[in-house]
Amino acid sequence: MPELPEVEVVRRGVAEAVVGRTVRDVLARVPRLRWPVPTDLAQRLAGQVVRAAHRRGKYLLMEFDTGWLIVHLGMSGSLSVAAPGTPPRTHDHLDLVLDDGSLLRLHDPRRFGAVLWHDRADGPVESHALLARLGVEPFSDAFSAELLHRATRGRTASVKQALLAGDVVVGVGNIYASEALFRAGIRPTTRAGRVRLARWQRLADAIRATLAEAIDKGGSSLRDFVGTQGQSGYFQNDCYVYDRAGQPCRVCGTAIRAIRQQQRSTYYCPSCQR
């Protein structure tokens, strides 16, 4: 699933290629992804200018004068900019046709993604049901070790599960949680409520550093993810632990271990992470 770095890479590509353009038409080839695609989307967007491209957690928010188009890439989705007249491939489910003829195209083989509309008359986009309860952004001033420490007092869930829950901090998905916990020297099975403030400080710093590095490297392309120009990310080539079970730790040489936590793979070094 595309995580925060991948969505941020897409946001930047959309901002560069699409912001300032006028939508000429919307071509929706399927009536439903994870939820129904609004049937009146073409009427809502035709003639409107894309004012900005934002990101909230793993959601891409394209801003128009009358509201926001909310896009989630699901398990396998991607957004690409295609030349005018480019024929759709299988699983190319939706196009925004722009004033120069170019296409912002959603490709989603599993159809777990979403394309929704939030009208400005219904309030700020942050009030949308999918966004209203999300935790803080890891690059915001609100994100801190003190926040993590305070929010996890009494939690019996593991520290990794607390990161993935999304109610305290958003966007730290499976790959980057494993990598940040390694950098912070914290074993992923440690109970979140037992992590002391000093260790949360190391983890908060590691989360920011890991996500920033992943964005700089175009995200991670383990299966389907590509950027808006079709480029693959390469953060996965330098992972310390993720998807490296049985291989030597890049720091100490101990074999990396893999376990399952809530049906997700977790990777860690039993020597470096205590």
Active site (annotated) includes residue 2:
yes
Exactly one of 2, 5, 138, 188 is catalytic; name it: 2
Structure confidence by residue, pLDDT tens digits, 178-232: 999 999 999 999 999 999 999 999 999 999 999 999 998 887 755 555 555 666 5
The answer to pTM > 0.85 is yes
Active site (annotated) includes residue 21:
no
183's tokens: 């950098």
Exactly one of 56, 58, 105, 183 is catalytic; name it: 58
- Phi first, then psi: give them for residue 70, nearest 5 degrees: -100, 120
Active site (annotated) includes residue 191:
no
Say which residue the tokens 């420490």 belong to: 149
- Whole-number Cα distances in Å, 266 to 1, 131, 164, 181: 15, 27, 12, 10
Structure confidence by residue, pLDDT tens digits, 132-162: 999 999 999 999 999 999 999 999 999 999 9
CA 208 to chain centre: 14
Say which residue the tokens 């190391």 belong to: 202
Q: Give me the pLDDT at residue 192, please.
A: 98
Active site (annotated) includes residue 260:
no
- The dihedral built from the CA positions of residue 12, 14, 17 and 21, taken in this order, carries a sign that is negative
Exactly one of 34, 110, 111, 264 is catalytic; name it: 264
In what helix (H) or strand (E) does residue 102 lie, and over which residues does it extend?
none
